[in-house]
Structure 1
Amino acid sequence: MPASGTFDCHNAPALPFDAAILGAIVVKSVTLHPQKGNPPPRLAETPSGLINSIGIPSPGIDVFIQQILPVYTALGSPVIVSVAGYSANEYAELVAALDGLKSVEAIELNLSCPNIRYHRMPAQDKDLLQECVAMARGATAKPLWAKLSPDVPSVGEMAQAAEVAGADACTVINTTSAMMVNIHTLRPMIGATRGGLSGPALLPIALAAVWDATHHANIPVIGVGGISTVEDVVAVFAAGASAVQIGTASFYDPMAMPRLIGELDRYLKDKGIASIEELKAKIRQSQTPSAEEV
């Protein structure tokens, strides 16, 4: 599935593939009230990565529900709505607004965007994270995913905290805080100074975070961060993920998601593995210590 913020079919031309092949569509984070986002420039390339500081431009939840959500639901895949709040109360209001909509399969709580100005980032504060998740949990019966930050001492402990507060899954990870400097102007290359690093450089960080999360929490983990090849996909499953999201790879290869779906099918066929579930079972078996190792 696409990572939130990387799949825009509302303002974009026609898609180059049938979106119904995707496991789900995760839409760009929506806020309670309209906001413009961060000043340009918003993107800067790095070695093996990309820094973005978009700042979540949003039409607000009401306009989103009325005008944008129907565009995504018409694509034929389950729709996951990502929401971003500035307080636990805002997360609860956002979730409540989506609760009665049959077209929304699940809600991803963006608790970890490094590109907006929080008083405190929920994904970096265990108490605030639990407050946000718990209040959202009280506002809906829909599945809730907590999107976590890599910029903490232990992603696993934050995943465990999200589980205790009522999250049904964790999305691991968001981008990591970063910056680049233009040596000619001697100024930051991003208008907001810092942004979030994504792309291949993030993959090893994401793998460690997924492993940490799956060894602390007993809820599914959706792996995201730097995935661009079928080998990356398999590695993320091997780290413990139940599903994967693709982000930056789709910027330079709009066919990245259907390509990876096809390559994963061929990988499984070549290995004599019938399904993703069988692959996960083999991973679990291979990682179970033998009697000699114990």
Structure 2
Amino acid sequence: MDLTVSFNHIKLKNPIILASGVWDLPYTEIVDFNKLGGVVYKGISLKPREGNPTPRITETPCGVINSIGLANKGVENFNKEVLPLLKKFDTAIFVNIFGESIEDFSRISEKISDVSGIEVNISCPNVKKGGVSFGRDPKTAYAITKAVCKNTSLPVIVKLTPAASNIVEIAQACLDGGASAVTACNTYQGLVIDIESKKPLFDKVVGGVSGPAIKPQALYKVYQISEGVEIPVIGSGGITNYKDVLEYLIAGAKSIQLGSVIFNNPLAPMEIIDNIIKYMNEKGYRNLKDIRECIDE
């Protein structure tokens, strides 16, 4: 049975990728990273960032909402302290990068090497500069993508925001800028009110909603892009089990990312891989191409 995925110089042993921001190195003691298709290390910036004040995360009826603010120790720390540890695993390693300007993205991308690819974050919903504002504008999305691609020989994946008025247009702009793929999509913007203080729970007001509640919407974004743009799509949003993965693959995704599900079930990646194999055996499928079918809107 063949679970491998290959597109635009990106090769995965299976379609299961850990999304950025939901795990760190201690998680390698719980899940065998050697069995994963890939991992995306949490968003890093040119210099260390403290992130947003606490509280940073809270539960919602069907998921979580966070306002982390891309807290990280910077690209130099990643290269010296994190990457050597991740390289011990036989899996594709991607690093998510964030900047407050096109120049930031350009400079960070120059400093990253010896990984499987770069994921460009133009979609964080809870930062003051950059983030969603970059991901809503096709001209900016194009300019950032082009700047990153100019400064690296690595495959470039752009993580899109669902807040874009026309996500297909944004995906096309990323393709025109040289992107190898897009991730669809980041969290949805949301709000939580503290009824005692009568103020927003988060200092930055808006947070990013993830979890099962967003799956139908994110799935539709994947379908729209797959139908409208000749670019590989990595599906992300609300995936909790192998059936969700199958839906994304059938909708057009080449692979998927797992995020907030691991908060409730740290072993979810292993269970999903095992269940996909079981499903394929039962159906007599030889590879992932056998799963995918054309669907009409």
Residue in 2 that maps onto 1:191: 203
1:110 to 121, 126, 134: 121
Q: 1:138 to 1:234 in 2, by over 3 A?
A: same
Q: Give 5+ residue unaligned stretches, structure 2.
A: 1-16
Q: Distance in 2 between matches of 1:23 and 1:223?
A: 14
> What secondary structure sits across from 2:42 in the alignment?
coil
Q: Give 5+ residue unaligned stretches, structure 1.
A: 290-294
Deviation at 1:288, TM superposition (A): 7.3
Residue in 1 that maps onto 2:4: none
Residue in 2 that maps onto 1:64: 78
Kindly indicate whether the alpha-carbon contact (under 8 Å) linking 1:44 and 1:189 is maintained by their aligned counterparts in 2.
Answer: no
Bigger strand share = 2
Deviation at 1:64, TM superposition (A): 1.4
Q: Within 5 A, what are the aligned runs for 1:93-242?
A: 93-98=107-112, 101-102=113-114, 104-118=115-129, 121-242=133-254
> What secondary structure sits across from 2:139 in the alignment?
helix
Q: TM-score, normalized by length of structure 2?
A: 0.91
> Would you identify which runs of 4 or more consecutive aligned residues in structure 1 move more than 3 Å?
none
> What secondary structure sits across from 1:29 in the alignment?
strand
Q: 1:166 to 1:13 in 2, by over 3 A?
A: closer
> What secondary structure sits across from 2:120 in the alignment?
strand
Kindly indicate whether the alpha-carbon contact (under 8 Å) linking 2:159 and 2:183 is maintained by their aligned counterparts in 1.
Answer: yes
Kindly indicate whether the alpha-carbon contact (under 8 Å) linking 1:154 and 1:212 is maintained by their aligned counterparts in 2.
Answer: no
RMSD over aligned Cα, in angstroms? 1.5
Which AA in structure 1 matches 2:120?
L
Q: Within 5 A, what are the aligned runs for 1:18-97?
A: 18-97=32-111
User: Is 1:7 aligned to 2:19, yes or no?
Assistant: no
Which AA in structure 1 matches 2:125?
P
Q: Distance in 1 between matches of 2:209 and 2:284?
A: 36
Which AA in structure 2 matches 1:89?
E
User: Is 1:243 aligned to 2:250, yes or no?
Assistant: no
Kindly indicate whether the alpha-carbon contact (under 8 Å) linking 1:53 and 1:115 is maintained by their aligned counterparts in 2.
Answer: yes
Deviation at 1:76, TM superposition (A): 2.3
Q: Report % sequence identity.
A: 32
> What secondary structure sits across from 1:109 in the alignment?
strand
Report how many residues are paired: 280
Q: Distance in 2 between matches of 1:6 and 1:110?
A: 15
> What secondary structure sits across from 2:84 in the alignment?
helix
Deviation at 1:13, TM superposition (A): 5.9
Kindly indicate whether the alpha-carbon contact (under 8 Å) linking 1:88 and 1:131 is maintained by their aligned counterparts in 2.
Answer: yes
> What secondary structure sits across from 2:111 in the alignment?
helix
